[in-house]
Amino acid sequence: MDLQVVRQVAELEDWISEGGVVVLSGAGLSTDSGIPDYRGPSGSARRSTPMTYQAFTRDPVARRRYWARSHLGWRTIGEARPNDGHRAVARLQEAGAVQGIITQNVDGLHQAGGARDVVELHGNLARIVCLDCGELTPREWMAARLDDANPEFRGVATAVNADGDVELDDAELDGFTVVDCMACGGMLKPDVVYFGETVPPERVSRSFGLVAGARTLLVLGSSLTVMSGRRFVLRAVKDGIRVAIVNRGVTRGEPYAGVVVDAPLGIVLPHLASTVATVSS
Just list the catalytic residues.
Answer: 122
Planar angle of CA 74, 75, 81, nearest 5 degrees? 95
Out of 6, 133, 136, 250, which residue is the one contacting Zn ion (CB under 5 A)?
A: 133
- 232: Cα within 13 Å, side-chain hemisphere: 35
Contact between 130 and Zn ion (CB under 5 A)? yes
- E strands of the chain, at which residues? 21-25, 98-103, 118-120, 123-130, 136-138, 159-160, 166-167, 188-192, 216-220, 242-246, 259-261
Q: How far is the CB of 58 from Zn ion (least distance, A)?
A: 18
Out of 10, 136, 183, 227, which residue is the one contacting Zn ion (CB under 5 A)?
A: 183
Contact between 132 and Zn ion (CB under 5 A)? yes
Contact between 136 and Zn ion (CB under 5 A)? no
Out of 10, 61, 184, 250, which residue is the one contacting Zn ion (CB under 5 A)?
A: 184
Binding segment toward Zn ion, per CB under 5 A, in 76-84, 182-190, 208-216, 258-266: 182-190
Contact between 137 and Zn ion (CB under 5 A)? no
Contact between 179 and Zn ion (CB under 5 A)? no
Contacts (Cβ under 8 Å, ≥6 apart) of 106: 120, 122, 123, 124, 125, 162, 163, 164, 190, 192
Residues contacting Zn ion: total by CB under 5 A: 8
Count the Cβ atoms, other than its own, within 10 Å of residue 58: 10
Contact set with Zn ion (CB under 5 A): 130, 132-133, 135, 181, 183-184, 186
